[in-house]
Amino acid sequence: MSNPVLVEVLRGSLVESRHRGAVAIVDAAGATVMAVGDVTVPVFPRSAVKALQALPLVESGAADRYGFGDEELALACSSHSGEPGHVAVVNRMLAKAGLDVTALSCGAHWPMNQAATFALAGTGTPSALHNNCSGKHAGFLCVACGQGIDHMGYWLPDHPVQKTVRGVLEELADAVLSPECRAIDGCSVPTWAIPLKGLARAFARFGSGTGLSRERAAAAARLRAACAQKPWHVAGTGRFCTEIMKLLGARAFVKTGAEGMYCGALPEQGLGIAIKCDDGGGRASEAVMAAIIARFLPLEPAERAALAGFIHPVLRNWNGFEVGGLSVTDALG
């Protein structure tokens, strides 16, 4: 099936571009609350599932063993911008496990934050610490070291840490993840193709604890609380994930993924959300996520007004002139 247009991009009063995609909103029992487009085809969630991948960090006891607080747990769930504060926390996580940057296998790239890139360019070059996935990788390393497992090759599919992570995804998404649905993520760990409906169910469970063991539900609640307390550590300055969780606190968990993926949970409503834009447009998936939150989450007038800026963001040129904007279509109902 052809997925519907979720977002139109206007220049002046005319449509210049269109973003097609699909959306699933599911409760923890697996009941579909909303399905737009094809929510059954497997998609790679990429970084949108980092909070699920961080569950073993808490469940294994490693987070307590190393004395991790909200900052470390939020970084383990993050796609951070490589700002100095992010790098410092990743360094701290590694040091608690007796490791340093050389243990990271995520690769190096320049910070996603422009100011951090300019500052770093004046003094040196990026390391794996600046990789937006370094917090997740530090979490994986701590799971291994905390359990006395050899951390070498922690990123490979057959390593005990990645086998544990796969099991978590299978349980929460109610999916069987065979090698045929495995690929390599940008940071080199396995990424598993899962239908949007399964991803939404996974986040409904993550957000509510429904259907999870007492230990896993407690771990999920601890990670959600950490992200709500330290939203800057989940993304960074001016980033959508950070701004939404600053605005709404523990009432909404949202997480971006590459190629137009977004997942989230509305814990009080018991709902999980999974979004995929066909063309990989992150700007569109952000607008759709904001529109879904505005529809399903009770909001104060000031909160609704703040969300409106994410649902219909203004586009400006290099002179700061307003030239158009994004508009979520009626496909969401």
Q: Are strands 42-43 and 194-195 parallel, antiparallel or unpaired?
A: antiparallel
| CA 203/CA 311 separation, integer angstroms | 22
**DSSP string covering 114-150:** HHHHHHHHTT----GGGSTTHHHHHHHHHHHHHTT--
User: For every one of its 333 residues, what pLDDT tens digit does the chain have, with 9 covering 90 and above?
Assistant: 599 999 999 999 999 999 999 999 999 999 999 999 999 999 999 999 999 999 999 999 999 999 999 999 999 999 999 999 999 999 999 999 999 999 999 999 999 999 999 999 999 999 999 999 999 999 999 999 999 999 999 999 999 999 999 999 999 999 999 999 999 999 999 999 999 999 999 999 999 999 999 999 999 999 999 999 999 999 999 999 999 999 999 999 999 999 999 999 999 999 999 999 999 999 999 999 999 999 999 999 999 999 999 999 999 999 999 999 999 999 998
- The residue whose two tokens read 């991790």 is 68
- The residue whose two tokens read 């300019």 is 118
Closest CA to 142 of 92, 93, 185: 93
Total tally of structural domains belonging to the chain: 1
Long-range contacts of 293-299, Cβ-Cβ distance < 8 Å, separation of 24 or more: 293/244, 293/248, 293/252, 293/254, 293/264, 293/266, 295/332, 295/333, 296/25, 296/266, 296/269, 296/271, 297/248, 297/251, 297/252, 297/266, 297/268, 297/269
Are residues 195 and 41 in contact, defined by beta-carbon separation less than 8 angstroms? yes
| CA 305/CA 328 separation, integer angstroms | 16
50: buried, middle or exposed (CB in 10 Å: 19+, 13-18, 0-12)?
A: buried
Q: pTM of the entire structure?
A: 0.96
pLDDT value of residue 333: 83
Q: Using the 8-state DSSP alphabet, how is residue 13 labeled? A: T
CATH number reported for the structural domain that contains residue 63 in this entry: 3.40.710
pLDDT value of residue 1: 59
- Provide the total of helices (H) and of strands (E) in the chain, helices listed first: 14, 12
| Residue range(s) defining the domain that contains residue 244 | 5-332
Spatial CB neighbours of 84, under 8 Å, sequence gap ≥ 6: 116, 119
Are residues 141 and 160 in contact, defined by beta-carbon separation less than 8 angstroms? no
